Amino acid sequence: MRRVLSVILSLAVIGVIVAAAIAYWPAGPARAVAAPARTPELIARGQYIATAADCVACHTTEGGQLYAGGRAFKLPFGTIYSPNITPDRETGIGGWTDAAFLRAVKQGVDDDGQELYPALPYTSYHRMSDGDVLALKAYLDTLPAAHAPNHPNALSFPFNQRPLVRFWKILFMPRSGFAPDASKPADWNRGAYLVTALGHCGECHTPRNLMYGLKTGQALSGETVQGWSAWNITSDPHHGIGGWGAGDIAAYLKSGYAPGRGAANGPMKEAIDYSLSKLTPDDLTAIAVYLKSTPASDRGPAADANPPSLSASTLTGPASGDTGDAYGRRVFEGACASCHAWNGQGQQTPMAALHGLPSVADPKGINVIQTVLRGSSVTAPEGHAFMPSFRADYSDAEIAAAANYVVEHFGGASGRATPKDVAKARAQ
């Protein structure tokens, strides 16, 4: 018996040593690559790639120099800060070779062989072509250098142990790059590349498991990110965007608004402002073509465009037998009804229509609460629309009640938002 125990114990000790050796073994130098000639065409291509991949959104603080880093990402186990990726030799990536840059973006290993956390979405960028990554580097090298030392991360043990990321990668790193599907047309393939590699849509829209790995079997079926719900964007007609025309999708990605589909807020508005609004019409159509072909998923709220509570209401008031929560109705009447008509239309502009949107059919009202706290504005070919922030003048209880009323009245679902949820969203 003791012998068996000691064999098991020795095996366990050897296992731990082997695992530690794998994790902490220094990575070798990055594989050398042939540098492309730095022509103006290459740099222009790199700029477009940087835009489509939205590097700037994460590597810039509000009001800070572009690409100089410092943006904080709050995770359950601490805070991580994006580094400076301007060509400053001392504090940026000015001294990096093309090979080191390629390895960082596609494999998540930095120039001195340390593991990078998947907050840099290399699980998607892994699919980028080497040519695109090198063009991107050529563009970054033309930017003004910012002297901005990196902010140290504040992660708790064991998450502060970078070598452990190697095990994470064994489980969750995609095995292969992007391979075009010869049986599909060129615009579908272009859309697939834009969605899965450059645009990294799945980093927000694909659910994650407890270990932060993407559940690739449920790609694009919806997830909560930075306190917002990134909706199901698969081809399902009720839970996803299968009911949207390709033109609606392209319009939404261009301006953040499509008639009858609502306005983009939060992280999606940021992705549109920095990145998607600057893509060519052909690329936006390609994204739409690809999204409309994705396997349908029925996860997430299904927006009912015309629940009974709406058809019985008018522009100026709810149905006489309105069953919505009376407190929430009073808040809505006082704070919201001047712009959002009771029958789901907008009072002054159709852009303020509230029917048929996933936000208002979500029982937790996550995006309703965020929009009410932060306010919103949108500029589209249809015009400019604005909603003020209610953060300062309304309590957590009032905002939760209004959100629940909106979900019940406009979405036909039963609202479950609590004042605690609002307090949490305020702190985000």
CB 75 within 8 Å of CB 69: no
- Window 346-385: contact mask with ligand HEC (x via CB under 6 A): ---x-xx-x--xxxx------xx--xx---xxx------x
Q: How far apart are CB 327 and ligand HEC at their closest, in Å? A: 13
Contact residues for 93 (Cβ-Cβ < 8 A; gap 6+): 83, 84, 85, 86, 87, 101, 111, 140
Question: Of the ranges 4-12, 30-38, 109-117, 312-320, which one interacts with ligand HEC (CB under 6 A)?
Answer: 109-117
- Window 126-155: contact mask with ligand HEC (x via CB under 6 A): ----------x-------------------
- What sign does the dihedral 415-418-419-425 (CA atoms) show? negative
CB 293 within 8 Å of CB 235: yes
Question: Of the ranges 10-18, 47-55, 170-178, 418-426, which one interacts with ligand HEC (CB under 6 A)?
Answer: 47-55
Q: How far apart are CB 25 and ligand HEC at their closest, in Å? A: 18
109 binds ligand HEC (CB under 6 A): no
| Cα 371 from Cα 390, distance rounded (Å) | 9
271 binds ligand HEC (CB under 6 A): yes
105 binds ligand HEC (CB under 6 A): yes
Interaction residues for ligand HEC, span 191-250 (CB under 6 A) = 195, 199-201, 203-205, 225, 228, 230-231, 233, 241, 249
Q: Closest CB to ligand HEC belongs to which residue?
A: 262
- Residue closer to ligand HEC, measured from CB, 19 or 58: 58
Residue 260's region, left for phi above 0, alpha for psi from -120 to 50, else beta, is left
Question: Of the ranges 211-219, 261-269, 307-315, 418-426, which one interacts with ligand HEC (CB under 6 A)?
Answer: 261-269
* Vertex 222 angle, CA 276 and 388, to 5°: 60
312 binds ligand HEC (CB under 6 A): no
Q: Which of 68, 102, 109, 120 binds ligand HEC (CB under 6 A)?
A: 120
Contacts 24+ apart (CB under 8 A), 214-220: 214/123, 214/172, 216/174, 218/297, 218/299, 219/294, 219/295, 220/195, 220/291, 220/294, 220/297
42 binds ligand HEC (CB under 6 A): no
- Residue closer to ligand HEC, measured from CB, 231 or 342: 231
Choose among 386, 378, 426, 388: nearest CA to 264.
378
Q: In this structure, what token pair is assigned to residue 362?
A: 């979500």
412 binds ligand HEC (CB under 6 A): no
Q: In this structure, what token pair is assigned to residue 225?
A: 């990110």
336 binds ligand HEC (CB under 6 A): yes
